[in-house]
Chains A and B, each alone.
Chain A
Amino acid sequence: MFSRIFKYLPFFSDAEVPYTVAARPDTGLYNAKLGIWLFLASEVMLFGGLFSAYIFLRIGAEPGYWPSGLLNVPVGTANTAVLIASSVTVVLAWAALKMRQLAKYKFYMAITILCGVFFLAVKLSYEWPAKFNHFGVFVRQSAASKYDEFLGNKHLSETGQAPRWEISGHLLDAPKGSPYADQAHHNAEHFAHETHRHDAVTEADDDYVIQLDPVNADPDSKENDRPHFLPRPLSSKLAVIKAADVESASTFAPRHSTYFATYFLITGLHGLHVLGGILVFLYLWLPIKGGTKLYQSNPEHLANRVEIAGLFWHFVDLVWIFVFPIFYLL
């Protein structure tokens, strides 16, 4: 059955195109090298479009509506280091192949693939899920004075800082009919188990109860004016917010704010690029026709393939070099 399907993959009907391995004399390039750079140029514009959206939305955000310090900086830094290390190993893998050292190539390529997998694993198993279980409520500006013990706007305006409109932490109780009711129920059970307190769930069915982040627990403290390097545990303090005073409420999911929308879209698209890179590297690493078996017949061809896959990988690294500071740090 498979042979019937593969029959229609037209791998043997290509016309013979010159310069697939050796460079064309007048341009000094082999075909794929030119192609990957053109592709990267289009990628520059793709991420350029996303970053210009970031700039546009950020400078357009009214004071207090562009959060900062919500991401885990040590984890992000570690991931950045892993990605940079993989960029080094992939260029070493290419150099090994150019020097016709197949064993070294396989070794460096294996490390590159592992680095990529580690990066994605951290993103998908730790960073993103943690966000989906964190909850934020934007309080209406007209009702904000009622909640100043959590927002600290008096302190912020006295010290000339941007106001704060959001109260965040773990959701323990949600208004009736909220899509977050299950999550709140789960968190409340956890909270009761940990603290042996049972005041998390209120009788009213029109309010949010939130176990506060340290920032909202003590908003007047100078400590909280700037984000911290190490993430701090939730306080045990609770806030009760009436649904009528809420402008929008959501987990730290894409719908939470334009900040998280751009964060998830850009890191998600970047993650897809990482995944694509891993798959291509795997293809070039395995002993198959297009991979290391090619070494026997045409080592230069394999080296070229590694070079262009590497160029793509460096670009993915390069994008992350910008993504990391603009979302995690600044």
Chain B
Amino acid sequence: MNATARPKPFRLLTWIAAAIAAVLVPAAPASATTIERVISPGGIEAWLVRESAVPLIAVEFAFVGGAIQDPPGKAGTAVMVASLLDEGAGDLDSKAFHERLDRKAVELNFEAERDAVHGSLRTLSENRDEAFEDLRLSLTAPRFDPAAVEIIRGQVQSLVRRGAMNPNEMARLRWWQTAFADHPYGRPVNGTLESLPMITSDDLRTYARRVLARDNLKVAVVGDIDAEAVKAMLDRVFGALPAKAELNPVATVPPRGLGQRVVIKLDVPQAVVTFGGAGIARKDPDFIAAYIVNHILGGGAFSSRLYQEVREKRGLAYTVYDSLVWLNHSALFLGGTATRADRAGETLDVIEKEIHRLAEEGPTEAEIAKAKAYLNGSFALNLDSSVKIAALLVQLQLDDIGMDYFARRPALIDAVTLEDARRVAKRLLDGGLLVTVVGRPEGIASSAD
């Protein structure tokens, strides 16, 4: 609900919020919740939800191993690969390929994030054969034509330049660079003006061969299609990919720099703040309790403590939020706000005080009850469109928490006790904050200053 300016990494959180909230809702129509596991003759798995009310098909998929698999010194490789998969494939150059997509109104998108390369296909049911062929070509026969590579390189460089004038982007980037110095998570996903020119066509091809494989692939299909057709699609589209991905090992690490403040001077009227600390892993038994605690601190609803204290009572900011972020090789809580320069110090004090208070005293029984009701009730809102359901099913697979997760969800949420929440609030929030600020904040100085 922090509708504005949600940074990219949080996209996943929305889905997970859904997953977590998944259950108490009265049974949805069978079509919306019945998940079939489909395995093709070639051994490729997909999760399918059949829904014929609207004549379209949504396919979402992900290859584990995103930007963190960029070669050393070549940050931005995954982003360039993702951008180039629909820039010409097989016998079709970029122009011909796009014209082909357009003629049948096929939507095909790829996106690289830290831990995975995501793909998404949307088509009218009547055009599904053409759409599946487009997808097959893009994944198994991308051309990486030199002209297309240069265009995409220019676009990513341009994104990086634009980011350099965006205080939100700057604050976030510095946070990740500081928390994960010397770790792949510290590298900008879009790369840098230094790294992007170093990426060669060979790098792109090598990355695609290493990462676009079958053993790290997660697929979900939702829409007007049956299991037999999905099986045929799976083998046709993904069958020619290498059986095994070649992923470089990545160390699992906590964020560093906790307790530090970093100020980046920029002449803007509003100071933009990113704050965060060590989180709790997705499969940790305390995860659900942490999710509840985070919701109370700065999660979705307008009732969160940070929202009330920073925005409602004091009018210090338009946006203030906190989210859990779980990665394959780390876990965080990460929040942000933006506030006028002359009250930046006060704003950060309020945030730190609230975090400290929650760590020390824990939430109240009433807050926990409300958070549970919210998380349970909001689930269905994430299952009202084929595209949303497909994205959620991919996320469940990436998180490796099982197809029966929805059914187990209510019990997991309801099992969290006041004692659990207090203990986990302390565990989650007592480890110190790394804070980055962009602007001319009064009352905040860099620790190093």
Q: Do A and B originate from a single complex?
A: no
**Which B residues fall within an 8 A CB radius of A?**
none
